[in-house]
Amino acid sequence: KLLADLGAEVVKVERPGGDPARMIGPFLQDDPHPDKSLFWFAFCQGKKGITLNLEEPRGQELLKRLVAKADALVESFPPGYLDSLGLGYDALREVNPSLVFASVTPFGTTGPYSSYKGPDIVAVAMSGYMSLSGDTDRAPVRVGYPITYPIACTEAAAGTVMALFHRGRTGQGQRVDTSAQQASVSLGANAPTFMDINQRIIRRSGQFRGELLAAIPERQVWPCKDGFISFAIYGGDTGARVNQALVDWMDSEGMADDFLRSIDWKALDMSTVTREWMEPVEERLGAFFLTHTKQEMLQGALERRLILLPVYDVTDILNDPQLQARGYWKEVEHPELGRSLTYPGPFIQSSPTPVRSGQRAPLVGEHNQEVYGQWLGLSPEEIKTLQQQGVI
């Protein structure tokens, strides 16, 4: 999807009848139909789609013919599956020596856990990241939506384009091997480093910010009048400015007492600060936040340049003026459904070659004629026969 956004011609190869991911919800109007998966819509936008049975010898031959014309192949089968069909990297590089072959798997294609299953929650658990998030009195949690694979796939896309750049300079192909577990380790920020440098294990702390830039956990998520906001007290020059600006705001509404007004924020040293010092401060800030809505907090934060933003739900994201002003939303036509849908648009803004928002995801086998006919030179009769034989 990301490569298609960057302008590549991407052909999604599905098994006859359609890829199993087409049955991942949510579905348009809750209708579990292979051409109505919103998951599929989101991550296959801009691609062409063909059907191909990789377990049939004729299917394998067709894939090789396609690979001979391709610059890159991206796959996420369990490690060893394509090799078992004679379609692994070693076999395909014989067909196309400069091929870039990229894999996205739970743990990478080699190593003791490479054959283990790793859906999102398993990969993020084993990356260490999950141990860092969630309330202390319950189980650790993941983000309540599987984002681990979109993250790993972005790394795989980066690896693929890097390899294409290298191929452009040297003519050499490349094997790219991305692990979802590895792609998520870095989300732990400095928590792994605390272990490495200080032999200290950082653990989850709910709505508090684990000892990221301070010696103590400090509140990050705060209730406000109609929801929650995200804000933490910083030290340094930035903290001195922001904290004072917040106190001034509170003061203008009669909510800063002598204690708060007397704090010299420039003297605040986050590397030695204690919970005893922090608690009365948090108490006053918390009372102030409860008097304002998310929207009021956002406006106040923008005016005063506070490092504070509201906790948006999806509706808030869609209504946000910043994304609208930047042209983030793209209407994508779905002629079969007789409507269009609003999609998240470019993942970056770039000039002079902007990222594009492609056509809606392919229907099952939608581009069989085009790809097998025009690209591989098969006749309409041959295509029909292959279809009847269950090869495509």
Interacting positions 272-291 with other proteins (CB under 8 A): none
Which amino acid is located at 365 in the chain?
G
Residues between 327 and 356 with contacts to other proteins, criterion CB under 8 A: 328, 341-344, 346-353
Give the Cβ contact number of residue 139 at 10 Å.
8
- 91 or 216, CB closer to other proteins? 216
Largest CA distance in the chain: 86
Dist CA 283 CA 64 (whole Å): 66
- Helix (H) / strand (E) containing 101: strand 100-105
- Quote the CA–CA distance of 120 and 150 in Å, as a whole number: 10
DSSP 204: -
Helices 236-252, 294-304: axis angle to 10 degrees equals 120
Binders of other proteins in range 90-109 (CB under 8 A): 107-108
State the minimum distance, in angstroms, from the CB of residue 52 to other proteins.
23
Residue closer to other proteins by CB (options 42, 263) is 42
Calculate the dihedral angle through the C-alpha atoms of 129, 121, 361, 105, rounding to the nearest 10 degrees: 80
124-163 positions binding other proteins, by CB under 8 A? 124-135, 138-147, 150-151, 154-155, 157-158, 161-163
Among 16, 206, 300, 390, binds other proteins (CB under 8 A): 206
Question: Environment class of residue 131 by beta-carbon count within 10 Å: exposed (0-12), middle (13-18) or buried (19+)?
Answer: middle
Binding-site member from 60, 96, 103, 181 for other proteins (CB under 8 A): 181
C-alpha distances out from residue 291 to 42, 52, 252, 253, Å = 38, 60, 13, 10
Residue 208 main-chain phi, psi, to 5 deg: -95, 155
Q: Does 13 bind other proteins (CB under 8 A)?
A: no
Of the candidate residues 221, 245, 273, 364, the single one contacting other proteins (CB under 8 A): 221
Closest separation in Å from C-beta 19 to other proteins: 15
Residue with the two structure tokens 């990222």: 355
d(CA 7, CA 21): 23
Interacting residue with other proteins among 116, 284, 359, 382 (CB under 8 A)? 116
Nearer to other proteins, 185 or 376 (CB): 185
Near other proteins by CB under 8 A: residue from 89, 101, 231, 289: 231
Please tell me whether residue 198 binds other proteins under the rule CB under 8 A. yes
Q: Can you tell me which of 12, 13, 14, 41 binds other proteins, judged by CB under 8 A?
A: 41
User: Can you spell out the DSSP letters for 269-330?
Assistant: -TTT--HHHHHHHHHHHHHHHTTS-HHHHHHHHHHHT-SEEE---HHHHHH-HHHHHTT-EE
114 binds other proteins (CB under 8 A): yes
Among 78, 228, 255, 387, contact with other proteins (rule: CB under 8 A): 228
- Which residue, 35 or 371, has its beta carbon nearer to other proteins? 35
Instruction: Provide the minimum distance between the beta carbon of 191 and other proteins in the complex, in angstroms, as a whole number.
Output: 5
Under rule CB under 8 A, residue 267 binds other proteins = no
Site for other proteins in 298-327 (CB under 8 A): 301-302, 305, 307-318, 320-323, 325-326
Q: Which stretch binds other proteins (CB under 8 A): 21-29, 80-88, 255-263, 384-392?
A: 21-29
Q: How far is 12 from 263, CA to CA, in rounded Å?
A: 60
Q: How far is the CB of 257 from other proteins (least distance, A)?
A: 26
